[in-house]
Amino acid sequence: MAILEILEYPDPRLRTQAKPVKVVDDSIRTLIANMLETMYDAPGIGLAASQVNVHQRIIVLDVSENRDEPHAFINPHLELFDGTIETEEGCLSVPGFYEPVTRAEHIRLTALDRLGEPLELETHGVLAVCIQHECDHLEGKLFVDYLSSLKRMRIRRKLEKQQRIQA
């Protein structure tokens, strides 16, 4: 297993539209294992392949208290139901910033599992929010895109400054 490097905003590679996975094979299962290890290490409650510069439609999540309920979804498809929820969101690609975002409170997800078998999940609350956040990454979208341009600009400037210091 391996810990993968997480791209940080405003890296333009985070804007890449991810492509569907054609065959769920061992290379995909290895990538999922490495994404889960990277998510737990960070630590985060979700991770999209886009964040580790792999532009395929794969997300992993674990919103459990004990960090022992890993989920992996391949080629996820979302249906949003009526009703919204506002949550303070953060993102491993936007480290250190948390802002409220409004999303659907109730969703239905269809996807493939690690064996390439179709699955279906209807869920609410934190898991529903996290799944929407991860699916956005696959479209090249980040939670900062829901904020005012002033807030987004402030976050961008601070992260660019940090990244210059780190480089």
Q: Which residues contact Ni ion by CB under 5 A?
A: 91
Residue 60 host element (H or E) = strand 58-61
- Cα–Cα dist 19/58, whole Å: 9
* 134 contacts ligand GNR (rule: CB under 6 A): yes
Of residues 10, 46, 60, 131, which one binds ligand GNR by CB under 6 A?
46
Q: From the CB of residue 64, how many other CB atoms can be counted at a distance below 10 Å?
A: 12
* 18 contacts ligand GNR (rule: CB under 6 A): no
Of residues 127, 130, 131, 159, which one binds ligand GNR by CB under 6 A?
130
Phi first, then psi: give them for residue 9, nearest 5 degrees. -55, 135
SS3 144: helix
Residue 49 interface partner, choices Ni ion, ligand GNR, none, CB cut-off 5-8 Å depending on type: none
State which residue, 112 or 138, has the beta carbon closest to ligand GNR: 138
Residue 16: what residue type?
A: T
**Residue closest to ligand GNR when measured from CB atoms:** 44
State which residue, 75 or 87, has the beta carbon closest to ligand GNR: 87
Q: From the CB of residue 144, how many other CB atoms can be counted at a distance below 10 Å?
A: 24
CA 80 centroid distance within chain? 17
- Cα–Cα dist 144/142, whole Å: 5
Residue 44 interface partner, choices Ni ion, ligand GNR, none, CB cut-off 5-8 Å depending on type: ligand GNR
* 76 contacts ligand GNR (rule: CB under 6 A): no
State which residue, 51 or 75, has the beta carbon closest to Ni ion: 51
What residues pair up with 112 in beta bridges, in sequence order?
74, 118
Question: Residue numbers of the site for ligand GNR (CB under 6 A)?
Answer: 44-48, 51, 87, 89-93, 129-130, 133-134, 137
